[in-house]
């Protein structure tokens, strides 16, 4: 007699990129998976935590290239849960921080399938921290905003303009294609001298960092070929970190570039 299939779906946050930053609970969930559906931003090394016989399906999205639409991903999760049992949906960062995790959970639960969520370390806080940038350093920043650079309508979030008027540290995800617009909004508020850090492929061996100001950051990006996926950090806490620039230049690592753009 065949064992009865017991469908179950667990959303697991894969963390910011470094495979060691997966949570212990996330690793335990992967170890019990029958199927793993994983994103482009989830480190492939994490698949080693899943059983060798588990089915691994890449459902990642990159700019201009989607393996599956979101509707197809939702259906894949349900179909595999009903067919094989425990599905782990492995999503970069934290599954609920601009990750559409809530949409996937809602779709799965509409079929009566039990769901669980394992929070992940969000790149919005972990990537700056890995560079020694304290988003809320005492005496410098009392709050921070985390904003998507590109909305579902493919436009820059209107919240960026509001954030530019504040004294808060601003962290922008998925914003590299909108960098010129972001710069213009801060310049409009006479904040051209505000420090900016752009961290590409944060916490991974391919990490690259560019540091400048609102007025210089586009040149820094061009000179160092910085591109997505990257985190944009805007605020005085970045400037407070200038003492680290010399250290990284002396380090001469073959996987880390740090450039500081001056006027």
Catalytic residues: 39, 61, 174
Report d(CA 15, CA 126) in Å as an integer. 8
In 129-162, which positions are buried (b, 16+ CB within 10 angstroms) versus exposed (e)?
A: ebbebbbeeeebbeebbbbbbbeeeeebbeebbe
**Which DSSP letter does residue 15 get?**
B
Helix (H) / strand (E) containing 24: helix 24-31
Distance, CA of 10 to CA of 37 (rounded, Å): 10
The candidate with the shortest Cα–Cα distance to 225, out of 245, 201, 247, is 201
Report d(CA 95, CA 115) in Å as an integer. 13
């Amino acid at each position: 007699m065949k064992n009865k299939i017991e469908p179950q779906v667990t959303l697991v946050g894969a963390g910011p990129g470094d495979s060691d930053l997966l949570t212990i609970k996330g690793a335990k969930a992967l170890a019990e998976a029958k199927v793993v559906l994983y994103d482009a931003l989830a480190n492939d090394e994490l698949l080693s935590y899943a059983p060798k016989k588990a089915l691994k399906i890449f459902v990642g999205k990159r700019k201009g290239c989607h393996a599956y639409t979101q509707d197809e991903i939702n259906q894949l999760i349900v179909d595999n849960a009903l067919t094989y049992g425990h599905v782990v949906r492995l999503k970069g960062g934290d599954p609920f921080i601009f990750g559409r995790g809530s949409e996937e959970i809602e779709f799965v639960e509409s079929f009566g399938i039990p769901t669980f969520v394992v929070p992940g370390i969000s790149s919005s806080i972990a990537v700056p921290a890995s560079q020694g940038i304290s988003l809320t350093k005492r005496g410098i920043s009392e709050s921070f905003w985390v904003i998507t650079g590109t909305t579902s309508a493919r436009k820059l979030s209107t919240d960026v303009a509001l954030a530019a008027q504040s004294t808060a540290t601003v962290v922008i995800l998925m914003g590299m294609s909108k960098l010129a617009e972001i710069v213009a909004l801060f310049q409009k508020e006479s904040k051209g001298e505000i420090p900016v850090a752009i961290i590409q492929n944060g916490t991974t061996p391919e990490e690259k960092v560019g540091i400048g100001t609102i007025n210089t950051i586009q040149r820094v990006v061009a000179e160092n070929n910085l591109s997505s996926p990257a985190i944009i950090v805007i605020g005085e806490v970045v400037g407070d970190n200038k003492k680290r620039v010399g250290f990284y230049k002396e380090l001469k690592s073959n996987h880390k570039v740090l450039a500081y753009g001056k006027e």
